Structure formats: C-alpha cells, structure tokens
Amino acid sequence: MILREATADDLSPLLALCRKVWTQLAIPFDTSLDRFRALQPHGFRIVVLYDSPPASGGAADLVAALTAHPVETDRGPGFEIKSFVVDQDRPDRVELLDALSLYSCNIALSGGRHVVLSRRDKRIPGTVYGRDLLDMETQDHDAYILQIGDAQAIIERIFQRRPEWRTSL
C-alpha cells in the first residue's frame, strides 16, 4: 500500500476512482478535476491510497481516497470527512478503509484536531463502517446521518482489529 496526501498528479486517477465507485454504488453524483483543484486552497486535505505496484512493473492503481476539511465543533477542533471512496471490486475494502482512517486521524491529531465528523445523505446507500467498525456515535437527522468520533479512539479501535499495524506503520 502507498498512502499519501494527493498531489496534482493524483487528481485524474482520483476523478476516475470517484466516478467508478459512484457508478458501482448507483450514487447519482459527478464531479470534475476543477472541483478537486478548488478544494485544496480552501483547507481540504485529500488522502490517496494506491495498491502496491505490480512485481512485473507498471503503475500502482488508486484504490481508495478520502477528502476532509477542518471544522470547529462544540467538542473542539476537528475535521469532517466529505468523501470516502473505496473500489467496490476489492475484497479488502475494510482493510483499505482502516488504512485511510488511520493515516487521516494521525494527520488530524498532528494538527490538533481530535474530533472526526462524517455526514451521509440518507437517500444514498451508505456504509456503517464508522458506526460499526470505528464505534462512532451516530445521530439521525432528517436528511442525513451524522457520525462523530474521537481520532485517538478511532486509531485504537483500528489497532485492536489490526495489532500488527501498531509497529509496522
């Protein structure tokens, strides 16, 4: 796995991944390269996860990504996850989600942001990853589901599932 913050070179593969995942999940969204380019000057962080390059050579495939931005909450400084996409053809989706979450929570904590927020539009089929695997508090609102968690607690939850990562990452 290769995890890093996105660069300009990652934006085209990111657009392709988003479109692929949204098609896989029948989500009626679309976006553009210009929209991704416009996010970073507004404080958004984009984290990308590539598969390891094949032994035979060639480029690694972008298989998961996360976009988030800083927010102030009544619980303190945090970040809100705006999109979390993982190639649905992958059998290791939870592992990829865990890796992205661990990396992103570490970035957030290094910036003094300990609250993690995620909203999901109720009309769109979604995941229960935050609630069921990260133990995030879930609030049901009229149009969306809000999940709230503590970055350090999320990291510990991931390490409980993946103790081998505690020393390898």
Quick one: pLDDT at residue 100?
Answer: 92
HSE, CB side, 13 Å, CA atoms: give it for residue 7: 4
Residue-wise DSSP of 100-161: HHHHHHHHHHHTT--EEEEEEETTS----IIIIIS--EEEE-SSEEEEEEEHHHHHHHHHHH
Quick one: pLDDT at residue 128?
Answer: 66
Quick one: pLDDT at residue 131?
Answer: 75
Task: Report the distance separating Cα 13 and Cα 24, nearest Å.
Answer: 16
Residue numbers of the domain that contains 55: 2-168
Quick one: pLDDT at residue 43?
Answer: 83
Q: Among all chains, which residue has been given the structure tokens 């991944």?
A: 17
Report the Cα–Cα distance between both ends of the chain, in Å, rounded.
Answer: 11
Nearest 5°: phi and psi at 101? -65, -45
Task: Report the distance separating Cα 2 and Cα 111, nearest Å.
Answer: 22
Q: What is the pLDDT of residues 50-71, one digit of tens each?
A: 997 766 777 789 999 998 999 9
Quick one: pLDDT at residue 160?
Answer: 93
Task: Report the distance separating Cα 51 and Cα 70, nearest Å.
Answer: 27
Q: What is the pLDDT of residues 92-142, one digit of tens each?
A: 989 999 999 999 999 999 999 999 988 877 776 655 677 777 888 888 888
Count structural domains, the chain.
1
Name the least confident of 6-15, 106-115, 139-148, 157-166.
139-148
Q: What is the pLDDT of residues 12-42, one digit of tens each?
A: 999 999 999 988 888 777 788 888 888 877 8
Q: Is the Cα dihedral 90, 63, 36, 154 positive or negative?
A: positive
Task: Report the distance separating Cα 146 and Cα 136, nearest Å.
Answer: 9
Task: Report the distance separating Cα 163 and Cα 142, nearest Å.
Answer: 38
CATH number for the domain harbouring residue 122 = 3.40.630.30
